[in-house]
Amino acid sequence: MNKVVTALALLVLSVACAPKDVNEQLTKQAAEEYLTPVHPGGDGRPFWNGFASKFIYAPAFDFQAVEGAESYLYTATCECGKSWSFKADSPQQSLAPIWGSIPQGVNIALKVEGVDSKGVTVGVAGERSFWRDYSFNPPYTGAVRGYREAAILGMLYVHTMPAVQNFVLSSEPDMDYVYFTYPCKIIGAVVQVETLLAKTVPLYRDNALAIARNAAKFLMDSARKPGERLAYFPPTYYKQFMASKFPENQGKTMAMEAASAGEAYLDLYDATGESIYLEQAVGIANTYLTLQNEDGSWHIKYDFATGEPVNDVKAMLHPLLNYLLRLEQQYGKSDYREARLRGEKWMAEHILSSFDMTGQFEDVSVQGLQPYENLTNCTAAPYASYILNRGASADEVTTAYELVRFSEDQFVYWDMPLNESGYKKDSTPCVYEQYKYQMPIDNSTCNVANAMLDIYEQTGDMLMRAKAQALIDNITVTQCVNTGKLLTSWRVRHNVEPSYWINCTYDSVCALLRMEKLAE
């Protein structure tokens, strides 16, 4: 009970306390920016928001011209019955003229009608319903414990998990922790958490590195052998505990997942100086070179035994491009520069131009999706970070802003109404993962917050910093008081044990430590 009381006292004392005029200025700046639509369609640019259900920034829609219409009447009607209207010359005008007047946190029904020269309605250009979401409006609850303390407690929770401690003496994963079924992502994350813990808290160095070495040994032992098409690639899947749900993944591997293992090897090399880990990381990168398509792309999925692509879907390339950039910048490996630039060109020509920020997750099928059907911050925000971290031109900074604002518009929830039980269903501010999984996930929070901080460091934009800090502060608010566990999902669900992903904790830890440095 005392621990709970102490935590509540900290919560009260730690409410974000920027001066009132600063918060008012940030709120005003945000409100002005929300009047500009995010990457609007028209004039040859496709509309990306056909499947979108909510907006923070004033939207514009792909409504078609009505024969005989000389102007268009826009009418937005709130669920309470109140309406707002304006006229425009185009059926694809943004809602900026009325956006600031529409209350936040309500369902809106929009109707756009074509009107002739006499003011007579001659047809309907389009109709659309959506949620008019809450804007950024500080102050929010500040960090309830220090960023460094929260990060260390989060790492120690992972470190003390029985399935993780199993790696002290064994290189075979303990499948009582079911997410080890995704070795590259999750066992790779164990390596990263443990090497970071060894660096941050020297007291745990020996035990943490023992875990990291055995976890890495499993990845190396289960990888394809030199000379094979997927040489050095560890498997995306292991023991297939979800095979009944996704049978198409049996014997397959997701192309971008091997980069996760490569990042883990590099972290372990940095911690130990043992060359075997750098050799494995380079081996993975070399294999990627052999898999690149003529157009600069990579396929999303390959047969793990033969190395042949299993479909025509192309991968979103941010994990790989970040990996190749790290090898170049940190280790002087320039052999990958040409392939990276070709990958960038493909992303620019096919993804940035279409703005189809499709989600590609190892536990969700990507086949049969319509364009824009499963958009995600997990493509957009990390690619913004990639652009900024490798050095961005003025035009590329503009692109990064668009990617981050898209992520905020579609996936950030700054607030939520109370439900019938008198509480918010999610801890806000938070970030949803994807259209197909409408759930607030800490990894998504980190994606968006990191991209916002990258923009801040590039431009000095204090609004971006304030938004990022509000998101990162909530990592500490949702952290378990007694165990230090950094929750993966921020949804309030009574009597339900939520899933827990170690890779997400690693991202939260890194975001917390980054915020600590900025706050110094």
- For 189-211, write each residue's pLDDT tens digit: 999 999 999 999 999 999 999 99
> pLDDT at residue 2 above 90?
no
Structure tokens at 26: 């940030």
Residue 254: beta bridge partners? 301
Distance CA 195, CA 193 (A): 6
pLDDT at residue 364, as a whole number: 65
Measured CA to CA, the distance from residue 65 to residue 294 in angstroms comes to: 40
The pLDDT of residue 15 is: 40
β-bridge partners, 376: 434
Which domains are seen in the chain, by residue range? 29-132 (2.60.40.10), 142-168+357-520 (1.50.10.20), 174-315+317-337 (1.50.10.10)
Say which residue the tokens 């002087």 belong to.
332
pLDDT at position 3: 40
Whether cis (ω within 30° of 0) applies to the bond prior to 139 is: yes
Q: pLDDT tens digits for 93-107? A: 999 999 999 999 999
pLDDT at residue 10 above 80?
A: no
Residues 371-387, mean pLDDT to the nearest whole number:
97
Contacts of residue 202, Cβ cutoff 8 Å, sequence gap at least 6: none
Tell me which amino acid residue 132 is. Answer: R
Helix extents (H) in 374-482: 377-389, 394-411, 442-459, 462-478
pLDDT tens column, 133-168: 999 999 999 999 999 999 999 999 999 999 999 999
Q: What is the pLDDT of residue 243?
A: 56
| Phi, psi angles (nearest 5°) of residue 34 | -70, -10
Pick the closest to residue 407 from 454, 349, 475 (CA basis).
454
Pair 490, 476: CB distance under 8 Å? no
Q: How far apart are CA 399 and CA 328, in angstroms?
A: 23
**Residue 422: pLDDT band by 50, 70, 90 thresholds?**
confident
- Look at residue 355 in the predicted model and tell me its pLDDT: 97
Kindly list the distances between the CA atom of residue 261 and the CA atoms of 139, 217, 276, 462, 499, in Å, as whole numbers in the listed order: 39, 11, 14, 35, 22
- pLDDT, one tens digit per residue, over 282-337 is 999 999 999 999 999 999 999 999 999 999 999 999 999 999 999 999 999 999 99
Sign of CA dihedral 187, 517, 206, 325: positive
DSSP β-ladder status, 83-88 and 54-55? unpaired
pLDDT of 11 above 70: no
The more confidently predicted of residues 19 and 461 is: 461
262-299 in b/e form (b: 16+ CB < 10 A) is bbbbbbbbebbeeeebbebbbbbbebbeebbeeebbbb
- pLDDT above 80 (res 494): no
**C-alpha distances in angstroms, 48 versus 236, 313, 355, 373?**
30, 19, 6, 9
Q: Which of 11-15, 171-175, 471-475 has the lowest mean pLDDT?
A: 11-15
Assess contact for 112 and 126: CB atoms under 8 A.
Answer: yes
Bridge-based pairing of strands 412-413 and 430-434 is antiparallel
Q: What is the pLDDT of residues 223-256, one digit of tens each?
A: 999 999 999 999 999 986 655 566 778 899 999 9
Distances in whole angstroms, Cα of residue 125 to Cα of each of 12, 59, 109, 128, 405: 51, 16, 14, 11, 27
In percent, how much of the chain has pLDDT > 90? 88
The end-to-end CA distance of the chain, in Å, is 32
Handedness of CA 63, 65, 66, 69 (dihedral sign): positive
Could you give the 3-state DSSP secondary structure of residue 132? strand
Mean pLDDT of the chain: 93
